[in-house]
Amino acid sequence: MRLPILDKPKGYTLYTGKSPFNDDNIAVIAILHSDNSKTGDMIQVYIINTEINPIAASKNNRDNAVCGNCKHRGNNGKMRTCYVNLATGVSAVYNNFIRGKYPVLNEKHYFYTFRNRFVRFGAYGEPTLIPIDIVASISSHCLNWTGYTHQWNTCNAKYQRYLMASVDNRKEYVKAHSMGWRTFRIRKSNDKIYQREFICPASVEGGNRLQCFNCNACNGTKDGKLTSNHGSVTIIAHGKVGEKRFGELQKLTSVR
């Protein structure tokens, strides 16, 4: 008798634990394939609050479990400037996790899962919530990766090797560089580009010349030390609505 062929999981659970930002439990989920037009088919690593769906979490300020103090998460779901659509990918990942669709992946199997692939740390959620040993292990097996953190001012400096510091103004840009970070800066269309910055080639303003998976410029310092040869990336806030909200956010936070 021929045994039935089991469906391969669409993703794996890499880590579960308690959020350092509140009392909620979180999970790190690797989704194996993506049709994201900007990133391309990268393995997308999500960090989700496992106790409440992402839309409700945003409306009740419990998204801080996975976003920390990121200013783009807004307040009670309002004035949110984050580009991630909670109603689509994030909600699907949450629902599938609750249904037990993502088996735990042991680190000894990382090689078979991540080899010859490109990885995006933090498709949603703060990637410094992924234990540094897991980030290091994945990075040692995959071809390349991207990742961004808004917790660059307080997190373990070891993440500089793997992640970009997400900054929104010149003050943050200068401080992050002084601490050893490469930066990824969101700006308005009339904001100038700073020295050592280049326009994201996967953006509209960059001509959509590349997708993230064949650019991979946003991969931290890689060798763990910032040098004058390292460039940093900048992009206009996504869309007219995104740029408008980003401008309002700058005014509210007295950022110039």
The DSSP annotation for the chain comes to -PPPPPPPPSEEEEEEEE-SSSS-EEEEEEES----TTT-SPEEEEEEETTS-HHHHHHTTTTHHHHTT-GGG-BTTBS------IIIIIHHHHHHHHTT-SPBPPGGGHHHHHTT-EEEEEEES-GGGS-HHHHHHHHHHSSEEEEEES-TTTS-GGGGGT-EEEE-SHHHHHHHHHTT--EEEEE-TTSPPPTTEEE-TTSTTTTT---GGGT---S--SSS---TT--EEEEEPSHHHHHHHHHHHHHHTT--
Q: What is this structure's pTM?
A: 0.91
Residue with the bigger pLDDT between 183 and 225: it is 183
For the chain, percent of residues with pLDDT exceeding 90: 70
**pLDDT tens across 48-57, in order?**
999 999 999 9
For the chain, percent of residues with pLDDT exceeding 70: 90
pLDDT of residue 230: 87
pLDDT of residue 241: 47
Residue 36 pLDDT level (bands cut at 50, 70, 90): confident
Q: Per-residue pLDDT for 114 more than 60?
A: yes
Mean pLDDT of 69-79: 87
pLDDT of residue 256: 35
Q: Per-residue pLDDT for 5 more than 50?
A: no
